[in-house]
């Protein structure tokens, strides 16, 4: 079992040493509704120019996503990009504390293969990647949720990693431009991807916070398949944060450390990560941190075990404490003592290395 994981980790390392290859789905399907949208047609043109295998569907139902086993369904779905219209319910935005006031969605699903994926259990059905073609309506709808006389924040990465799809869709750039013209609204998104060149010169007007999802190298190599390595992500963070006068994007930035895990030697591993971040932010920046420890639910564990039967991810209930959410559901978290130890460590590292940075939350 471990051999297979090591082989996967080696393959990932080889890919990242050669440079990360952007995701190219094996199948891209367009619903008739999506093709009625200008943005849907734009994605269609891009998909053709990338020589992707494009299908125009006769109706708005996506089929052909299931295989004979869970694992097969996973493989088929993760290789499928469906361009569809967001349903009506997507226009009724939900709050997303503590990250932002509201969440909205450019897409659902993600091409990466993180073995702890937080989407497990959040989205129904096979994990295909669905991009919403009615983007202009989705963006305009956010106006209705603006608060009077104060900045309202909108989170765009609850159900996807928007940068992972940008080379095919261009929708993130469109969204950043849109929020650049909105004085009272701020956009936030988080990514594990590194292809930020296309975002550097956008007129964001300081209203988009780019957040980079980072972890100790050991965790990223073993558990975050299909993503650029940590060093490449930190380079992306550096480019986005660097002032425009120096050729960077001049964005407010953030680091999302997630999921934090007390693996053997965790203090050294995370100290090394902080060393790398610090070395690469050698200029004035506007930086926040979000600190999220690993947790799982009975439902997410079951789904993840179906997707990644050989995972080395520690989901031993006996080693955790339970917490209940407001609907009575259980989640498994680290013990109070372990949490306090880690919190102290992270707060100290951040406070001593990045005195102007703000820690938004620890959970
Ligand atoms: S990048 Fe995020 S959404 Fe994508 S597989 Fe990893 S955890 Fe899941």
The string of pLDDT tens digits covering residues 168-227 is 999 999 999 999 999 999 999 999 999 999 999 999 999 999 999 999 999 999 999 999
Q: Which residues, including other chains, have CB under 8 Å from residue 354's CB and lie 6 or more apart?
A: 277, 278, 281, 287, 289
What sign for the dihedral angle of Cα 343, 348, 354, 356?
Answer: positive
- b vs e for 139-167, b when ≥16 Cβ sit within 10 Å of the residue's Cβ? bebbeebbeeeeebbbbbbbbbbbbbbbe
* C-beta of 163 in contact with ligand 1 (< 6 A): no
Distance 158 CA to ligand 1 centre (A): 10
| Cα dist from 112 to 63, 81, 127, 141, 210, whole Å | 22, 13, 11, 29, 19
Mean model confidence pLDDT for the chain: 93
Task: Tell me the β-bridge partners of 55.
Answer: 29
Predicted local confidence at residue 15, as pLDDT: 43
Torsion of CA 123, 128, 131, 137, to 10 degrees: -40
CA 126 to chain centre: 18
Ligand 1, from 75, 79, 110, 111: best to mutate by most atoms within 8 Å of Cβ? Answer: 110
* C-beta of 110 in contact with ligand 1 (< 6 A): yes
Q: Which atom of ligand 1 is nearest to the CA of 227?
A: 1
Torsion of CA 117, 119, 124, 125, to 10 degrees: -40
Q: Which atom of ligand 1 is nearest to the CA of 110?
A: 4
Distance 112 CA to ligand 1 centre (A): 6
Q: Pick the residue whose CA is nearest to atom 6 on ligand 1.
A: 114
Peptide bond into 259 cis (omega under 30): yes
Distance separating alpha carbons of residues 229 and 227, to the nearest angstrom: 6
Among residues 265, 294, 290, which one has the least CA distance to residue 118? 294
Distance 245 CA to ligand 1 centre (A): 33
Q: Pick the residue whose CA is nearest to atom 8 on ligand 1.
A: 117
DSSP state of 86: P
* C-beta of 192 in contact with ligand 1 (< 6 A): yes
> What is the pTM for the complete model shown?
0.93
Distance separating alpha carbons of residues 191 and 227, to the nearest angstrom: 10
Three-state SS at 77: helix
Predicted local confidence at residue 326, as pLDDT: 78
Distance separating alpha carbons of residues 154 and 208, to the nearest angstrom: 9
* C-beta of 108 in contact with ligand 1 (< 6 A): no
Distance 150 CA to ligand 1 centre (A): 32
Question: Residue 19: pLDDT band by 50, 70, 90 thresholds?
Answer: confident
Query: How many other C-beta atoms are found inside a 10 Å radius of the C-beta of residue 268?
Result: 11
Residue 6 pLDDT > 70 = no
């Amino acid at each position: 079992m471990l051999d297979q994981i090591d082989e996967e980790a080696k393959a990932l390392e080889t890919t990242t040493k050669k440079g990360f290859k952007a995701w190219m789905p094996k199948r891209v399907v367009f619903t008739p509704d999506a093709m009625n949208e200008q943005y849907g047609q734009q994605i269609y043109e891009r998909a053709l120019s990338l020589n992707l295998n494009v299908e125009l569907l006769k109706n708005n139902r996506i089929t052909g996503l299931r295989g004979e086993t869970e694992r097969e369904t996973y493989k088929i779905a993760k290789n499928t990009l469906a361009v569809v219209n967001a349903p009506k319910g997507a226009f009724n935005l939900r709050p997303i504390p503590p990250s932002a006031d509201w969440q909205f969605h450019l897409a659902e699903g993600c091409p990466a293969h993180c073995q702890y994926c937080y989407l497990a259990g959040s989205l129904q059905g096979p994990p295909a990647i669905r991009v919403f073609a009615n983007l202009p309506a989705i963006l305009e709808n956010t106006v209705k949720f603006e608060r009077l006389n104060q900045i309202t924040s909108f989170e765009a990465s609850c159900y996807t990693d928007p940068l992972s799809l940008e080379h095919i869709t261009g929708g993130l750039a469109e969204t950043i431009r849109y929020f650049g013209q909105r004085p009272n609204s701020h956009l936030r998104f988080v990514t594990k991807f590194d292809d930020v060149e296309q975002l550097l010169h956008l007129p964001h007007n300081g209203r988009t916070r780019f957040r980079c999802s980072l972890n100790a190298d050991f965790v990223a190599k073993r558990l975050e398949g299909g993503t650029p390595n940590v060093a490449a992500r930190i380079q992306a963070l550096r480019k986005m944060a660097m002032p425009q006068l120096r050729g960077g994007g001049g964005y407010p930035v953030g680091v999302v450390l997630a999921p934090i895990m007390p693996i053997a030697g965790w203090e050294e591993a995370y100290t090394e990560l902080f060393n790398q971040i610090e070395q690469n932010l050698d200029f004035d920046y506007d930086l926040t941190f979000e600190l999220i420890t690993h947790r799982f639910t009975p439902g997410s564990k079951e789904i993840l075990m179906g997707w990644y039967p050989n995972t080395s991810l520690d989901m031993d209930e006996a080693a955790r404490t339970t917490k209940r959410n407001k609907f009575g559901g259980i989640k498994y978290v680290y013990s109070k003592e372990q949490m306090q130890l880690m919190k102290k460590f992270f707060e100290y590292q951040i406070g001593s290395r990045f005195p102007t940075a703000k820690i938004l939350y620890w959970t």
